[in-house]
Amino acid sequence: MNAVERLQAAIEKLESIRGTAPDPWTAEPRRVVDVNGTIVASTVTSFDAAGIVTLHRTIDAQLAILRAGLEQGRAVERFPHYWYTPPTDDALALADAILGGAS
């Protein structure tokens, strides 16, 4: 995948999960059940809760970074003879992280 395709795929992935992700405040706690069906532990660690809330709150910022990179990449593709800055390494790194690795 080229830079524009990576950025577009990451945007599509984030947008698709943003609408279906549960509200982090309504998530069920994790339960550990023994072989008899007895709950032996029921926890949501502070790291899990904080991580979920933080990620939930940063999706719009991540989308803004990806969209800016996408526009830069499209400008370079459309007008290769003009001076346009390619997408930043940060935007591409974010896209690769969302997609699960470098493409």
Q: Which residues constitute the domain of residue 35? A: 3-99
Look at the block and give the residue holding tokens 């059940």: 33
Neighbouring CB atoms inside 10 A of 97's CB total 12
pLDDT tens digits for range 34-77: 667 665 565 555 555 666 666 777 888 999 999 999 998 998 88
Number of domains in the chain: 1
Q: What is the pTM of this model?
A: 0.62
